[in-house]
Structure 1
Amino acid sequence: MNQDVLQRAKQIKLVIFDVDGVMTDGGLTIGDDGLEYKTFNSQDGLGMKLLKNSGVQMAIITGRTSKVVTQRAESTGVAHFYQGVEDKLVAFNELIAKLNLRPEETAFMGDDVVDMPPMLRCGLSITVPAAPKSVQARAHYVTTKEGGRGAVREVCELIMQAQNTLEAQMAPFFQC
C-alpha cells in the first residue's frame, strides 16, 4: 500500500460515496413500472457498517434520485445523503461546513468526471477500475475491486487499517 494513501486515510473522518458505478456496477435497470432497480453488494454493506462503528461518518452524494438509495443509506448507517445533485462540489462544501470538517479530513469515492470537483478538493480521492483514465490519473487510489463488486468494502477496510481500527472491528467475527 502506498504510504501517501495510508497517511491520507489516517486523517479521514468522513467518507462520501457516489452511488452508480461505485456502490453499484453502474448499470441502471428501469422496469416497465417505471421504477429504478439497483443491485448492491452485501459485503460492501457490512464494510460500511464496520466503518461507521469505527467512528468514521459516511455520506452519499449522487446525481440520480431513487428510493432504493434512501433505503440503502438507512440500512448501512449513512447519516448524510444528497440525491439529484447537479453540482457535487456545492453539496460537498455544504456538508463539510455543516460537519465542521476540513477537506483533508474527507474522502470522496466517485467513478466519473462529474465526481472530479469534490475528488480534487478532498483529502483522499478514490475511484474504481472502470472509471475513465482521466479520473484514475487524478485519484489518490484506484481500487482493485470493481464498483458494486467489493470496491466500497475495500475502501472501508483501507481506512480502518490506516486508522488501526480494522482488527478490532473484525475480532467479533473470529471468536468461537
Structure 2
Amino acid sequence: MEISYKQLLANITTLIFDVDGVLTNGMVTIMPDGELIRTMNIKDGYALKTAVDQGLNVCIISGGTNEGVGKRLANLGIKDIYLGAHDKIKQYHELVQKYNLQPENVLYMGDDIPDFPVMKLVGFPCCPNDAVPEIKNASKYISNIKGGEGCVRDVIEQILRVQGKWEGNFSAKYD
C-alpha cells in the first residue's frame, strides 16, 4: 500500500524554503541603482509566522542576497536565514547538524535546478506549480499554486492541519 503525501506531513519538523520562485514569483524589478525589488505574498508570511509559533524549524536557503528579504523573514521569527547560498548543500548540512535532523523530518520547497541537490536529500521535496520540470519530477508534492502566490501557505497549512496545529490557533470559527 502506497503512503499518501499527507501521511508524510505528520513527521515534518523542519521546513526549508528557497526565496526566488517560491516565496516570490521569480520576477524582480530592477531599480536605477541596480537594487532588485521582490514581492512576497502576505498569506505566505502569515503561514511562516504560524509555523514558527507552532514550534517548527523554519529555514531559508537562497542564492539571493537582498537585505530587505532577510529583514522581512527575520521579522516573521525565522532564525535560520542563509542568503547568498550558491551551494545549498553546505547550508543544508549545517541545519542537519544544528538540529540533529533525519531526512523524513525535513521538507524542502524549491523551484529550479539549484534546489535539486538538497531536494534529493530530504524526506519531503515539494515545489510550486510553476517549478521547472526537473524539480516537479523530484517532488513528492506539487502545489497547485504558483511561486509567490501562496504555495508556501498551501504546504504549511497542510502540515499544520495534519499535525493538529492549525485550527487551534483561532479563537473564532469562520464560515
TM range (shorter): over 0.9
Amino acid at match of 2:12: I
Per the normalisation by structure 1, the TM-score is 0.93
User: Residue 129 of structure 1 corresponds to which residue in structure 2?
Assistant: 129
Please give the secondary structure, in 2, of the residue aligned with 1:60. Answer: strand
> CA–CA distance in 1 between the matches of 2:39 and 2:158?
23
Matched residue, 2:40: 40
Amino acid in the other structure paired with 1:87: D
Q: Distance in 2 between matches of 1:72 and 1:103?
A: 28
Q: Using structure 2 for the length normalisation, give the TM-score.
A: 0.93
CA-CA distance at 1:7 after TM superposition: 2.0
SS of 2:78 mapped into structure 1: coil
Inter-partner Cα distance in structure 1 for 2:57 and 2:161: 16
Residues 123-176 of structure 1 show CA distances to partners (whole Å, capped at 9, x for unaligned) of 11110111111210110100011111010100110110121111112x23538x
Please say if 1:158 is aligned against 2:153: no
Letter paired with 1:157: E
The one-letter code matched in structure 2 to 1:49 is K
Corresponding residue for 2:28?
Answer: 28
Q: Which has the higher helix share?
A: 1
Judged with a 3 Å threshold, the aligned counterparts in structure 2 of structure 1 residues 79 and 55 are, in CA distance, closer, same or farther, namely: same
Q: Please say if 1:63 is aligned against 2:77.
A: no
Structure 1 spans left out of the alignment, 5+ residues: none
Over the residues paired in the alignment, what is the CA RMSD in angstroms? Answer: 1.5
Identity value in percent: 34
Matched with 2:88 is 88
DSSP-derived class of the 2:136 partner? helix
1:172 maps to a residue whose letter is: S
Question: Which residue type is aligned with residue 90 of structure 2?
Answer: V
Gaps of 5+ in 2: none
Aligned to 1:110: 110
**Hey, what's the Cα distance between the residues in 2 that align with 1:60 and 1:5?**
22
